[in-house]
Chains A and B, each alone.
Chain A
């Protein structure tokens, strides 16, 4: 196995008007090529910050992030980002959104057209090609956002709670579709979530993070065979075990929030 994404002793702090907040502290994490890794933790554990560092949107205060041995210094289409808020360009039709990255890369129309049509078909969006994002449901919008990122065929996908804003049923079908795409395309996926069930359903490996400052609390491989069944007793046992780990951090988060509230 080859390392795809490497976080090397990452620390991250932000300075606000009167305080210094330590968000991440000595995070070491290596993600192998083709691996599906979920980052799991309560709000404010720095999991999104870690993802943003991998995307190149923020530079860590300490340590470095490497992708295929190269130091990450900025955003790049080789690490495609999918946002919880979709971030589709509302002034572009669905097909123009999907074509955006290809046009930026300077591809010709003859390359773009079939590639876009192919992706729209793959994500069952063909009949929405000329619609505006505002006409689409949340699930459809996230499909467009995934197609937009896949258009550039990135070896790595970074997903920041991509299904967090969707209803339970839409979420399930998108999870299945994502697994389908993953097994078909063999991409490395780093997926942030706070849903324990989602993490167990999707991941090869779950990395649980602690409350601020975020550190890795547990890093475990999920050995349940795919496709996974949430009603399976082994699934539930793992869910319970993970639940205890995450809830301890959730309580730490709530206590910290209460403290900061009384301090104000």
Chain B
């Protein structure tokens, strides 16, 4: 009963919004082109989600057919770019962050450069990205990697350089070598910071993928939203936006579980 009440309470605000929205549309206060009703957005979303062709067992397997809807193809494309771009950014940022966090001289050397580059939004690199990588996936992945790189880097540096020195003294006293201290002490001690950098990095990646698709790529959710605007398919624009929200929510829930697992030793968890 407790969980039922909790769900009901969580649904209250969305239901209220949808009701008001539907009411406004039904009363004819806005044109469907400016704001279609939630019902028609829902219909469009289903249409967007479901396969366009009828199922033909001879031509393809059921799974491929079921996933052939435009929305799933677009979402798959966007997700793939996010994953790839994020991984590139993460794989570059993590070791550099670990090194910079552990080595004060390297930090002093690289910090001014990083502080100048960091505030430049990845979106500002779009012209350069297109000049360097042309159109298609490469510039998108480059921009996403850039978006993920700095949050992961900054948080890793902060995490490593703020490890409580008492853990280091205890580990040295127990005879641990430098490499053992790094892997068994510094890395886990910095993990809460690193994970929050990962979380911010994934958020930025999502932001960047939509913009990159609007400019440099011919599929994905960002592309589809912009395409729908060209045809004044407002319902499809909103359906696409809603899909982005759902995917973001799913990724955040996944991150939350990963966090809870990796930081299960942590006080706040």
Chain A interface residues toward B at CB < 8 A: 55, 57, 74-77, 79-81, 83, 85, 87, 89-92, 100-101, 103-105, 132-134, 148-149, 152
Contact = CB atoms under 8 A, between A and B. Distances in A.
Interface of B is mostly: helix
Interface of B: 166-167, 169-177, 180, 184-185, 188-189, 191, 264-267
B177 A87 contact: no
A91 B265 contact: yes
A30 B186 CA distance: 36
B184 to A, nearest CB: 7
B175 A152 contact: yes
B267 A77 contact: no
A203 B191 CA distance: 42
B175 A81 contact: no
Contact of A77 (B175, B177, B189, B265): B175
18 contacts: A55-B173, A57-B173, A75-B172, A75-B173, A77-B175, A81-B173, A83-B169, A87-B167, A87-B169, A89-B167, A89-B170, A89-B171, A89-B188, A91-B189, A100-B174, A101-B174, A101-B176, A152-B175
B173 A90 contact: no
Contacts of B188: 89, 91
Given A91-B189, A101-B175, A57 B169 contact: yes
Interface of A is mostly: loop
Q: For the complex of A and B, list the 8 residue pairs with the smallest distance between their C-beta atoms, beginning with the closest.
A: A101-B174, A91-B188, A87-B170, A77-B175, A104-B176, A75-B172, A91-B265, A81-B173
Contacts of A148: 174
B106 to A, nearest CB: 24
Given A74-B172, A76-B175, A101-B175, 18 more contacts: A57-B172, A57-B173, A75-B173, A77-B173, A80-B173, A80-B174, A81-B173, A83-B166, A87-B169, A89-B170, A89-B185, A89-B188, A90-B267, A91-B191, A100-B171, A132-B264, A134-B266, A148-B174
